[in-house]
Structure 1
Amino acid sequence: MEQFHFHTPSENLLNGNSYPIEMHFVHTNKEGQLAVVAVMATVGEANPTINKIINLSPKGINDVNRIEETLQLETLLPKDTHYYRYSGSLTTPPCSEGVIWIVMKQFTKMSKEQIQELTTLLNSKNNRPPQPLNGRQIVEL
């Protein structure tokens, strides 16, 4: 995994529904091919890992923070590991094509306060609106 980040609201739709937060876990293999695991979040119980991420997050616009602390990122993933897969592009510049997208079917939970805090940290809506399929096939696994 190269990095992770958040979008508000979600960039992908599940059964036509948008979610308040979408997390992207960006991976690169030895050949430089990209894969993104996307997880939606809904309101529920507070997630302790999200509290750590909020506390470690950069506070300035476009700031990047390299987290040296170990985080239990698996606590951000849903228990049910079924997903949708399709080939697409990055959703931020340079919007490179050929990205393997893995969109988890189930979502994770965060408290209303955590979702609000992440939204505040992001400072604005930072999602790319859902794009037309343009002939892409979505594989359900």
Structure 2
Amino acid sequence: MDTELAPIQFAYGPSEAEILNNGHTVQVNLAAGNQIMLNGRTFHLKQFHFHTPSENTVNGKFFAMEAHLVHADADGNLAVIGVMFNKGDANPVIASLWAQMPKKAGAHKKLEATVDPMTLLPAAKDHYRFNGSLTTPPCSEGVFWLVMKNALPVSSAQADAFTALMHGPNNRPVQPINARPILE
């Protein structure tokens, strides 16, 4: 549904972080300080993680990989930014993370350098917006989804390395739209 969406206001910057392999994804937990403003509400960035292939599609198209930047407001409401990755050139941010990615489920370590979540976003911040659910159990409803329209590159080797570490795809199947409008 075409509409005028208010832009997402980003307040991201370099942050200390920890990378962990929780057995179903590689997750980066960030120190406090990064946030977005959405419809007058502040959501704090808690972590980001990855899925191969993508969990969202655009016009029925899957992407090689998807990052989810997970935010929560003071009341526990969630806003997730989805960023798609097309196969192409190697991604320097992914390269840095994969070089430190724990190979064993349950392992974690502090990242050697700060990570700036802005480097995981495309230059143009146009996005789709819809209400949905978490994509991992308990798949709770009430999540504000903001899926970026523009994709970033990831090399085949980078996507394949992640899929191999997860012992195969780690995406939730695409769910029916049902009565959810997708705003753009």
TM over 0.5: yes
- For residues 43 and 67 of structure 1, what CA distance do their matches in structure 2 show? 28
- The residue that corresponds to 1:128 in the other structure is 172
Identity %: 47
**Residue 65 (structure 1) shift:** 2.7
Is 1:42 equivalent to 2:86 in the alignment? yes
Is 1:60 equivalent to 2:104 in the alignment? yes
Contact 1:36 1:101 in 2 (8 A): yes
Contact 1:28 1:34 in 2 (8 A): yes
Is 1:88 equivalent to 2:121 in the alignment? no
- Residues 100-139 of structure 1: per-residue CA shift (max 9 Å, x gap): 0000011010122111112222222111111111201111
Secondary structure of 1:15's match?
coil
Larger Rg: 2
Look up the equivalent residue of 1:121 and give its one-letter code.
Answer: L
- For residues 107 and 141 of structure 2, what CA distance do their matches in structure 1 show? 24
- For residues 67 and 19 of structure 1, what CA distance do their matches in structure 2 show? 29
What are the ranges of 5 or more consecutive residues in structure 2 without an aligned counterpart? 1-44
Structure 1 stretches of 4+ with a deviation exceeding 3 A read 66-69
What are the ranges of 5 or more consecutive residues in structure 1 without an aligned counterpart? none
Look up the equivalent residue of 1:65 and give its one-letter code.
Answer: H
Higher relative strand content: 2
- Residues 74-108 of structure 1: per-residue CA shift (max 9 Å, x gap): 22211111000000000001111100000001101
- For residues 50 and 72 of structure 1, what CA distance do their matches in structure 2 show? 12
The CA RMSD measured in Å over matched residues stands at: 1.4
- For residues 65 and 52 of structure 1, what CA distance do their matches in structure 2 show? 15
Contact 2:79 2:144 in 1 (8 A): yes
Contact 2:52 2:159 in 1 (8 A): no
What TM-score does the superposition give when structure 1 sets the normalisation length? 0.91
The number of residues matched between the two structures is 139
- For residues 179 and 109 of structure 2, what CA distance do their matches in structure 1 show? 38
C-alpha change, 1:38 and 1:113, in structure 2 (3 Å) is same
- For residues 43 and 21 of structure 1, what CA distance do their matches in structure 2 show? 8
What TM-score does the superposition give when structure 2 sets the normalisation length? 0.71
- For residues 64 and 24 of structure 1, what CA distance do their matches in structure 2 show? 20
- For residues 174 and 107 of structure 2, what CA distance do their matches in structure 1 show? 26
Secondary structure of 2:181's match?
coil
Alignment partner for residue 33 of structure 1, among 57, 62, 77? 77
- For residues 48 and 109 of structure 2, what CA distance do their matches in structure 1 show? 11
